């Protein structure tokens, strides 16, 4: 029974803060009464976990004013765009200048992998103008929005074709290496956009679709972060080199003894996890919602703050002398400027945007006969 | 009351259990009566409640010690609409079975 109660507490902590009191009492009563009905306590605890993970907390908020809804959706758009763009800044310094270069230097499988990652960099590059399209679409009439989304990808496809022709690559490589990840990115991004547009007016927290999209976006961000930390360690490590591109990086790793290779990735990953934990705790402290996992990772403000934090770390490395991040200064001058402006603009927007969403329904109402009812519509 | 966007067999079973009960029913009893796992019924009750099909209240005037149980009942509108929803869900199940799909395992009986 004690174990069940303990696990149940874990499930309750997954719920949004305003629902925890109700479900604590309800599920504890169910747990204690399970034997009376001949039911398994484990099934109650399992059910509670499943419910906490899948519960649509949008139901539990009051309707929003239209202006607040727009601001809320704009915040999500900015958060997605900013995270994708900053993920790009973290990653783009680690790719070779041209896919053909990788093919000459590496075994075929690594060349394919390099090309794939290279094309994913373009995917992130593509996300930056889409971010602007997002911002535009929020304030445009619905009929014009599709045009914005069609126009910008069309421009990018043209650019990709031109780039591929200049390198004399085969059409299959072009399609595989460039277009597929690009369209994948586009779909993910439009999915986020559509889910934001289609969200009911009362939605004050992320829907399942938004959360999934954010998971993709956050993956990009964290992959960039992992590479940044991993390479920083490689620079500090006395037996390692300071590579300037992913091609050289893999080539050097291939030359190292296996123990070094494993050690490098282990420590790099550990550092990344520590960085994530620190960011998590920082955000939790700022938002004072440490007990609510959904509240910490599921807000646009939190994602924007995390993305900006990571960007600042990257910039800090960039200005330090004698390290591999010096390579950024040559390749990323324009990008860094754009991202800095984006971070500034979005920071000001987030500060100025109205924040009166999340007005909750009264948790309980009292019936005339004295019975206590939950909110009802 | 808002329309249900998706009506699963588990939703129909939950509505059926609520419809058959004369008084407000303990959530765990609904789970037992439907014979479905708690992980299916808890979210359905939450959804039905928030769409205005069901209301819930804490039990009162009980000698039992410990946390209060949550009792559920259909709203007047919910009770009116529930039979149609249950009937259409049953019809869909029958049609699915007629097409050769097992309602239990969700795959073709010919497989």
What is chain A's pLDDT, residue by residue, as a tens digit (377 residues)?
778 888 888 888 777 666 778 898 999 999 998 888 888 899 999 888 888 777 655 555 444 455 555 665 666 666 666 655 555 555 544 444 444 444 455 555 555 565 566 555 555 555 555 555 555 565 555 555 565 555 555 554 544 444 444 455 444 444 444 444 445 555 555 555 555 555 544 434 444 445 455 555 555 555 555 555 555 555 444 444 444 444 455 455 545 554 454 455 555 555 555 555 555 555 544 443 333 333 444 455 555 565 566 556 555 555 544 444 444 444 444 444 555 555 555 555 544 544 433 433 334 433 334 343 333 32
Helix (H, G, I), strand (E, B) or coil at A203: coil
* Phi, psi of A14, deg, nearest 5: -75, -15
Largest interatomic CA distance in chain A: 82
Report how far apart, in Å, the C-alpha atoms of A70 and of each of A66, A144, A196, A212, A349 are: 6, 17, 9, 21, 13
Please provide the average confidence, as pLDDT, over all residues in chain B: 82
Query: What is the mean pLDDT of the segment spanning B13-30?
Result: 91
The verdict on B49 touching A (C-beta cutoff 8 Å) is yes
The reply to whether B103 touches chain A by the CB within 8 Å rule is no
| B41 vs B101, residue with greater confidence | B41
Of A33, A56, A371, which is closest to B60 when you measure between CB atoms?
A371
d(CA A245, CA A106): 13
B77 interfacial to chain A (CB closer than 8 Å)? no
Chain A: closest CA distance from residue B16 (Å): 19
Taking only residues 43 to 102 of chain A, the set having a beta carbon closer than 8 angstroms to any beta carbon of chain B reads: 43-44, 46-51, 54-56, 59-60
User: Measured in Å, how far apart are chain B's first and last C-alpha atoms?
Assistant: 42
Q: In what order do the strands lie in the sheet containing B25-26?
A: A364-366, A372-374, B54-58, B70-74, B25-26
- The partner residue sitting opposite B28, judged by closest CB among A33, A367, A371, is A33
Residue B33: what pLDDT?
Answer: 92
* Percent of the residues in chain B that have a pLDDT greater than 90, as a whole number: 44
Q: Using CB atoms within 10 A of its CB, is residue B2 exposed (0-12), middle (13-18) or buried (19+)?
A: exposed
Secondary structure class of B7 (helix, strand, coil) = coil
Q: Is the pLDDT of residue B40 over 70?
A: yes
The burial class, CB within 10 Å (0-12 / 13-18 / 19+), for A208 is exposed
Contact map slice: A 140-199 vs B, CB within 8 A: none
**pLDDT at residue A361, as a whole number:** 38
- Interchain CB contacts (distance < 8 Å): A and B: 95
Residue of A nearest to B28 (CA): A30
Task: Name the residue of chain B whose CA is nearest to A58's CA.
Answer: B50
Closest residue in B to A56 (Cα) is B47
Which pLDDT does position A181 carry in this prediction? 43
**Between residues A286 and B88, the one the model is more confident about:** B88
Cα separation, A258 vs B71, whole angstroms? 61
Is the pLDDT higher at A100 or at B76? B76
Asked whether A91 and A124 are in contact (CB, 8 A), the reply is yes
In this model, does residue B20 exceed pLDDT 60? Answer: yes
Q: How far is A30 from chain B (nearest CA, A)?
A: 6
Q: Which residues of A touch B40 (CB under 8 A)?
A: 47
- Residue A54: which of B43, B55, B75 has the nearest Cβ? B43
ipTM summary value:
0.85
pLDDT of residue B56: 92
Give A146-179 as a 3 state SS string. Answer: HHHHHHHHHHHHHHHHHHHHHCCCCHHHHHHHHH
pLDDT of residue B4: 81
């Amino acid at each position: 029974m004690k174990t069940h109660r303990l696990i149940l507490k874990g499930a309750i902590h997954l719920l949004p803060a305003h629902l925890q009191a109700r479900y604590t009492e309800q599920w504890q009563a169910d747990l204690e009464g399970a034997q009376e009905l001949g039911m398994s306590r484990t099934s109650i605890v399992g059910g509670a976990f499943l419910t906490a993970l899948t519960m649509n907390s949008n139901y539990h908020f009051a309707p929003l004013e239209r202006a607040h809804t727009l601001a809320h959706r704009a915040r999500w758009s900015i958060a997605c765009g900013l995270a994708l763009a900053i993920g790009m800044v973290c990653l783009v310094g680690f790719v070779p200048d041209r896919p053909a270069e990788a093919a000459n230097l590496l075994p075929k499988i690594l060349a394919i992998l390099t090309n794939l990652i290279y094309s994913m960099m373009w995917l992130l590059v593509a996300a930056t103008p889409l971010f602007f399209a997002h911002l535009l679409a929020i304030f445009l009439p619905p009929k014009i929005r599709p045009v914005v989304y069609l126009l910008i990808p069309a421009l990018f496809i043209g650019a990709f074709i031109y780039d591929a022709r200049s390198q004399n690559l085969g059409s299959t490589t072009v399609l595989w290496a460039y277009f597929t990840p690009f369209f994948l990115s586009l779909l993910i991004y439009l999915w986020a956009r559509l889910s934001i547009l289609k969200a009911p007016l009362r939605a004050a927290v992320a829907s399942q679709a938004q959360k999934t999209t954010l998971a993709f976006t956050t993956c990009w961000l964290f992959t960039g972060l992992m590479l940044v930390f991993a390479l920083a360690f490689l620079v500090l490590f006395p037996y390692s080199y300071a590579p300037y591109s992913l091609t050289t990086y893999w080539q050097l790793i291939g030359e190292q003894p296996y123990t070094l290779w494993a050690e490098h990735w282990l420590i790099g990953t550990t550092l990344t996890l520590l960085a994530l934990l620190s960011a998590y705790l920082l955000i939790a402290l700022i938002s004072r919602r440490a007990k609510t996992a959904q509240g910490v990772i599921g807000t646009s403000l939190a994602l924007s703050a995390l993305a900006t934090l990571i960007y600042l770390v990257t910039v800090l490395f960039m200005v330090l002398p004698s390290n591999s991040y010096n390579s950024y200064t040559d390749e990323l001058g324009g990008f860094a400027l754009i991202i800095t402006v984006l971070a500034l603009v979005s920071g000001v927007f987030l500060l100025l945007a109205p924040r009166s969403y999340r007005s909750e329904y009264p948790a309980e109402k009292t019936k005339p006969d004295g019975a206590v009812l939950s909110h009802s519509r | 009351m808002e329309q249900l966007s998706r009506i699963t067999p588990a939703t129909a079973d939950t509505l059926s259990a609520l419809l058959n009960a004369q008084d407000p029913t303990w959530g765990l009893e609904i789970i037992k009566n439907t014979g479905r796992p708690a992980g299916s019924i808890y979210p359905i009750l939450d959804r039905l409640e928030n769409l205005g099909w069901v209301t819930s209240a804490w039990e009162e005037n009980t000698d039992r010690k410990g946390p209060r149980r949550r009792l559920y009942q259909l709203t007047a509108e919910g009770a009116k609409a529930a039979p149609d929803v249950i009937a259409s869900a049953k019809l869909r199940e029958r049609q699915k079975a007629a097409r050769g799909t097992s309602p239990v395992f969700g795959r073709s009986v010919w497989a």
